[in-house]
Amino acid sequence: MNISPHHLPRFFKAINTELDSNADEIIGLDQAIGDGDHLTNLQRGLKAVQKIEVELSEMNWSDALMKIGMTLMSTMGGASGSLFGSFFLAMSKAAKGKTMDAQHLAAMFDAGVSSVKQRGKADIGEKTMLDSLIPACESLKQDVATNQDLAVTVANLKQAAEKGMLSTEAMVATKGRASFLGERARGHLDAGARTSQLIISVIADEVIHIQNEN
C-alpha cells in the first residue's frame, strides 16, 4: 500500500463530496430519532481539518492522526465529536513508529474501534456507529490475516460496513439520544452508522484509486 499523509486532502475532499450528496438523507435520519445536528457536527469537524490539511499532509501518520483527533474533538460537539475524536487519537497511538501497511492499518483501525467502544460504553447491536465500524473492522482483520488481495479486502470491507449499517434499522437504541425513544426508534437507520459507513466506503474507494495510479 502506498498511502501517505500527502493523500489526506484527497480523502477529506472525497468524504466532503460524499456527505454533501447524501445530506438530506443523513439530516432526516438524525431528525427522526435524534436532534438533527449530526451532519452539521460532522461537517464542522471536517471543515476544521481541511483548514489545516497542508500542515497535516507534511506530518507522519501518528502526528497527523493525533492532530485530526484533537481537532475533531474541539470542533465537532455532539456525542459523535468525542467518539470520532477518540477514534483518531487511538489510531494515532497505534500508528506510532509504524509504516502504513495492511497489517498495521488493520491494527490501527482495531485500536480506533476499541476506543469508541470504551468511550461510548457501547458495543455491536446498540444502534450506533459501532454497528458499521465493528463489522468493517472484523472483515478487514480477517482478510489481512489471510493475506487477501487488496481489491477483495476493500470490497468485503465496504460490504460489511453496509450490512452493519443496514442492520441498525431493525434495532432499538440502547445508547445515545435515540435510546430515549424506546420502540419508536425501530424502523429508522442510525445516522452515525450511516455516516461512518459512507466515510469507510469513500476512503476504501480512494485507496484503490491511489493504488491504481502507482
| 38 makes contact with Mg ion (CB under 5 A) | yes
Nearest-10 Cα torsion for 150, 26, 92, 137: -40
Cell of 140: 478487514
| 122 makes contact with ligand ADP (CB under 6 A) | yes
Cell of 1: 500500500
Chain-centre distance for alpha carbon 115 = 13
Number of residues that bind Mg ion (CB under 5 A): 5
**Cα separation, 61 vs 67, whole angstroms:** 10
Cell of 126: 446498540
Least distance in angstroms from the C-beta of 76 to ligand ADP:
7
Residues in 60-99 at the binding interface with ligand ADP, rule: CB under 6 A = 78-80, 83
User: Contacting ligand ADP (CB under 6 A), which of 72, 89, 90, 129?
Assistant: 129
**Cα separation, 200 vs 210, whole angstroms:** 15
Which span sits near Mg ion by CB under 5 A: 25-33, 159-167, 182-190, 203-211?
25-33
Nearer to Mg ion, 5 or 45 (CB): 45
DSSP state, 174?
S
Place of cell 458499521: 132
User: Contacting Mg ion (CB under 5 A), which of 8, 11, 34, 42?
Assistant: 34
User: Contacting ligand ADP (CB under 6 A), which of 12, 26, 30, 68?
Assistant: 30
**Cα separation, 81 vs 69, whole angstroms:** 9
Least distance in angstroms from the C-beta of 35 to Mg ion:
4
Nearer to ligand ADP, 5 or 192 (CB): 192
Cell of 209: 484509486
User: Contacting ligand ADP (CB under 6 A), which of 56, 130, 154, 157?
Assistant: 130
Nearest to 191 by CA among 167, 165, 172, 171: 165
User: Contacting ligand ADP (CB under 6 A), which of 3, 5, 11, 38?
Assistant: 38
CB atoms within 10 A of CB 175: 16
Nearest-10 Cα torsion for 188, 191, 196, 202: 90
User: Contacting ligand ADP (CB under 6 A), which of 192, 198, 199, 201?
Assistant: 192
Which span sits near Mg ion by CB under 5 A: 22-30, 49-57, 96-104, 196-204?
22-30
Nearer to ligand ADP, 86 or 153 (CB): 86
| Contact set with ligand ADP (CB under 6 A) | 30, 34-35, 37-38, 41, 78-80, 83, 116, 120-122, 128-130, 175-177, 190-193
